[in-house]
Amino acid sequence: MKSELFGTDGIRGPAGQFPIDEEGAWRFGLATARHMARGGGAVYLGRDTRPSGPALSAAVAEGIMAAGCDVIDLGVLPTPGIAQALAAHGGAAAVALSASHNAAPDNGFKLFGPGGEKVTAACERAIETLFWANEPVGAARGTLSPRPHAADEYVDFAVGTMPAGLSLRGLKVAVDCGHGATAYTTPTALARLGVDVVAINADDQGELINASCGSQHPAAVREAADRCGAALGLAHDGDGDRVVFVDEQRATVDGDRIIGLTAQAMARRGELDGQAVVGTVLSNIGLELWLREQGIALHRSRVGDRNVWLKMLELGAVIGGEPSGHLIFRRLLSTDDALLTAMQLLAVVAESGRPLCELAQQVALVPQAVKNVRVLAKPELEGLSPVSEAIAAGRALLNGHGRLIVRYSGTENLARIMAEGPDAGLLGQVVGFVETAFGVAGLATAAA
């Protein structure tokens, strides 16, 4: 049966199961080229380190070439680097093979249009229609051209975004590459800027991608920073579009605090157009209040980097992001980029002459309780008793002194529950009510 292929960030699922298998990859390549390259132009193709990547990449390339379109193969490269290659050199589209922060058995297809922007929902629907149409292939065939120095070109681009004359010499940073696509690019770029880099999980062992490491498991880089005596640590997810830090006191510095500190620095330099920043419905109220004190307005979008980007375009904002560590700096690139984000925050630290722990504590975040529940299906929450009743009861308990947000993940079979407010104990109680309700409704399989 046909179903919606695209989630909030491309198509994602278990590798080897349709559509994340060679047949689905070929169909995706063919449909993408037929829709995106109708007026000519090549399609850029890159991937992270997952074991399923080479075969899926080859199948996507075959589909693109079967549509008569040329392929430029970038090899292993962070997802934002793939988008940047398209933006820098021109072309019809770019495809990144990755399941982002998911474990190694998953993979997926992320799609970018001209300029390196995530494609629109309308574009996704058109490609999905072509994906299922299974129309015959013509005689014309495109070519495949490798671009062996793509990673170095991306590093050159990233290093070139730093303010002239700014040095990071003397700063020792532990970097967790999560066995993913940033294993070469982030350590190389930071070293060129003078950083003493101690890299962990910086290899091509894609079968270990995101496994107890990377941005979702900051304990790994925290321990590495302690071992090597690094001032700071930073961790990426598998495809390099998100980053979190650990500071000198080994506290985690998430996307909300990174947004706050970089926005404040941009405002001070006169670079924050409209004194506006874009977050999401999950952005901490503490960030909003702190930005307001700086004369900066926080505007909220729905969850997902594409939604953040669209809100940025609507408002003319130059910075936006999510608590998870996805940040977009519009003047630099049209998509979220973990390396650029890391460099921007390190620049703030260097310019201020103050430790990150001191800077981060300025952004006083309100307690949040978060729980992910793995679910069998994703029915509408409004009509799902007893979950809807638990949500109503939870909000009544908060009594106007907090927020409760329950939503389904757009990339995994998860229900995400977030409660926010001043009473941490009450938040845990509220989240527990809703988690239990998913079990009572027969949807929950296990805590994620």
Catalytic residues: 100
Amino acid at 284: N
**Residue 185: burial class (beta carbons within 10 Å; 0-12, 13-18, 19+):** buried
CA separation, residue 270 to residues 265, 266, 267, 278, 318 (Å) = 9, 6, 5, 17, 12
What would the two tokens of residue 59 be?
């199948």
Cα(272)–Cα(294) distance, integer angstroms: 12
| Mode of pairing for the β-strands spanning 43-47 and 93-97 | parallel
Cα(60)–Cα(55) distance, integer angstroms: 9
Q: How many CB atoms lie within 10 A of CB 84?
A: 27
Residue 114 half-sphere exposure toward CB, CA atoms < 13 A: 11
Residue 308 half-sphere exposure toward CB, CA atoms < 13 A: 31
What would the two tokens of residue 152 be?
């170095």
Element (H, E) at 374: strand 368-375
DSSP secondary structure code for residue 203 in this structure: S
321-353 burial, b at 16+ Cβ within 10 Å, e below that, comes to bbbbbbbbbbebbbbbbbbbbbbbbbbbbbeee
**Residue 425: burial class (beta carbons within 10 Å; 0-12, 13-18, 19+):** exposed
Cα(363)–Cα(144) distance, integer angstroms: 49
